Structure 1
Amino acid sequence: MPGPVPGQIALVKSGRGAGLYVIIIKLADEHSVLVADGGKLKNTRPKRKNIRHLQLVDRIAPEVYDSIIETGSVTNGKLRFALTRFLNERLTDEEKGDEFDG
């Protein structure tokens, strides 16, 4: 993907939230985006992050993307759902990978 897209999942690389997965909900300018996770970072008070401080994941949460395109916003519940599903799938993929090691 060339650049960040609303609904895209990202890993925070630096700052207090380092190691947390978030979802991009808006492109702020050419260097920064607004992110939220539906929990600590609510959609009503998203965190502004420099793109360089994020590791973009090659994954867009369709329900979040569709909601942002249709209504201009997304609910905290949809953000939490999308991140939970992503993390569960990621853990399942890692477990499958472990089966073949050895």
Structure 2
Amino acid sequence: MSESEPAPQIGQYVHILRGRDAGQINVIVGIVDEKFVLIADGDKRKYDRAKKKNINHLELFQYISPEVKRSIDETGRVTNGKLRFAVSKFLNDQAITLEKGEQIDG
């Protein structure tokens, strides 16, 4: 990660670039240190078994889920249902954006 890249934030959407889950969209549910984050999607990867992932293997989107961020800030955790909802909402919003001819920028 270079100096110009923003630091990952809790609730931020990521696109997995490397590993078994490559191609999937997940949400950051924890930050381990400046190099690693914890990600989950509430479906294949539950909150209780979040995946520790190197941020160099992720594409960070500029979008942050306010529901996930608020839940983690208030209670220290988030439900898997809320994670699934956030990921599906993000994917639906991106599909609408792409239909309008705009591009996704991460």
| TM-score after normalising by structure 2 | 0.90
- Determine what percentage of the aligned residue pairs are the same residue: 51
Q: 1:2 offset after TM fit, Å?
A: 1.4
Letter aligned with residue 26 of structure 2:
V
What CA RMSD, in Å, does the superposition of the two structures yield over aligned residues?
Answer: 1.1
2:44 to 40, 49, 55: 40
Partner of 1:57: 61
The whole-number CA distance in structure 1 between the counterparts of 2:81 and 2:90 is 14
Equivalent position of 2:71 in the other structure: 67
Q: Which residue of 2 aligns with 1:18?
A: 22
Hey, what's the Cα distance between the residues in 2 that align with 1:60 and 1:21? 13
Structure whose alpha-carbon radius of gyration is higher: 1
Give the Cα separation in 2 of the matches to 1:86 and 1:54.
17
Question: CA-to-partner distance for each residue in 1:56-100, whole Å, 9 max, x for gaps?
Answer: 0000000000000000100000000001000001001111118xx
Structure 1 segments unaligned to the other structure (5+ residues): none
Q: Could you list the structure 1 runs, at least 4 aligned residues long, displaced by more than 6 angstroms after superposition.
A: none
Tell me which of 4, 7, 11 is aligned to 1:7. Answer: 11
**How many angstroms apart in 1 are the aligned matches of 2:28 and 2:86?**
12
**Residue 69 of structure 2 aligns to a residue in which SS?**
helix
The number of residues matched between the two structures is 98
Structure 2 residue runs of 5 or longer lacking an equivalent are none
> Partners in 2 of 1:43 and 1:94 — Cα distance?
29
- d(CA) in 2 for partners of 1:5, 1:30: 11
Greater displacement, 35-44 / 89-98: 89-98
Distance 1:49 1:78 in 2: 21
Q: Calculate the TM-score normalised by the size of structure 1.
A: 0.93
